Amino acid sequence: KQEVTQIPAALSVPEGENLVLNCSFTDSAIYNLQWFRQDPGKGLTSLLLIQSSQREQTSGRLNASLDKSSGRSTLYIAASQPGDSATYLCAVEYGNKLVFGAGTILRVKS
Amino acid sequence: NAGVMQNPRHLVRRRGQEARLRCSPMKGHSHVYWYRQLPEEGLKFMVYLQKENIIDESGMPKERFSAEFPKEGPSILRIQQVVRGDSAAYFCASSAVQGATDTQYFGPGTRLTVL
């Protein structure tokens, strides 16, 4: 069964702190892995996409890594800001579909 | 280039009525995906369509739910005889190609409330 797990479920940090969100998946036969951001009552915004042959991707203060063999990905956020407060979703693509984790709710306090 | 469009954004139905949710993919995209997000749960895949074809409907409930993506016009997710458990956010995504090289772009979602 293809399952995606995210840890922690919620995280509250002071502004300026560096933080790491974790994602693990049970089936390593992935096409790619994506990290999304979802604001309350809103849609999804794609942050980073890592193809199965890649090990990491970077965009601004965000860095995502992928270790297919161990079934893990991390999203690193540097110098967090209150505007980073949102739910972060990890999604693994298997063929025709994305399998999502339950998300990490991040709150950055000013 | 407009993003993925979904309408309506909010839909209220009484038990037993029909709900029709529309999704217009991004320009040039011929692959459409529907996902459902139940309250306090993650997003779950429902169905994957290309123009005039259902490719993968492994996540669709067996009864009352159907989807189409006609040659012309938006993709439609249809829920017949809605029940309270159908209350959820329904998201549509589109991509230009299927597979590893292209991300799925998500619409803002339709929030269905069944009274």
What digits encode the pLDDT tens for the residues A5-51? 999 999 999 999 999 999 999 998 998 999 999 998 888 999 999 99
Question: DSSP alpha helices (H): ranges in A6-107?
Answer: none
Beta bridge partners of B48: B33, B56
Max Cα–Cα distance, chain B, nearest Å: 42
Question: Does B102 score more than 80 pLDDT?
Answer: no
User: How much is the CA Rg of chain A, to the nearest whole Å?
Assistant: 13
In the predicted model, what is the mean pLDDT of chain A? 94
Q: Find where tokens 């399952």 sit.
A: A3
Question: How many of the other CB atoms lie within 10 Å of CB of A7?
Answer: 13
Q: Do the chains contact at B45 and A97, CB–CB below 8 Å?
A: yes
Name the residue of chain B whose CA is nearest to A47's CA: B103
- A93 within 8 A of A30, measured Cβ to Cβ: yes
Question: Is the predicted pLDDT of residue B100 greater than 70, yes or no?
Answer: no
* DSSP code at position B21: E
Dihedral sign for Cα atoms in the order A34, B106, A62, A49 = positive
- Mean pLDDT confidence for B76-98: 93
Cα→Cα distances B72→B13, B66, B115, Å: 27, 18, 33
Subunit contact A97:B109, Cβ cutoff 8 A: no
| Mean pLDDT to the nearest integer, B70-85 | 96
Residue B89's pLDDT band, with cuts at 50, 70 and 90, is very high
Enter the tokens of residue B6. 């979904």
The answer, yes or no, to whether residue A104 has pLDDT greater than 70, is: yes
Q: How far is A21 from A23, CA to CA, in rounded Å?
A: 7
Chains A–B, number of C-beta pairs less than 8 Å apart? 60
User: B61 vs A60, B83, B86, B89, CA distance in Å?
Assistant: 40, 13, 11, 16
A-chain residues near B111 (CB < 8 A): 41
Mean pLDDT of A62-68: 97
Looking at residue A42, what is its pLDDT?
85
CA dihedral sign of residues A21, A48, B46, B80: positive
Hey, of B45, B54, B98, which one would you mutate to test binding to chain A, going by the most A CBs within 10 A of its CB?
B45
The predicted structure's pLDDT at residue B101: 56
Which B residues, 28 through 67, put their C-beta within 8 Å of a C-beta on chain A?
A: 33, 35, 41-45, 48, 55-56, 58-59
Question: Which token pair is B112?
Answer: 């269905």
pLDDT band at A107 (very low <50, low <70, confident <90, very high): very high
Higher pLDDT, A51 or B76: B76
Q: What is the pLDDT of residues B14-32, one digit of tens each?
A: 999 999 999 999 998 989 9
Q: Can you give the pLDDT at residue B98?
A: 62
Mean pLDDT, range A71-100, rounded to an integer? 95
Mean pLDDT rounded to a whole number for chain B: 92
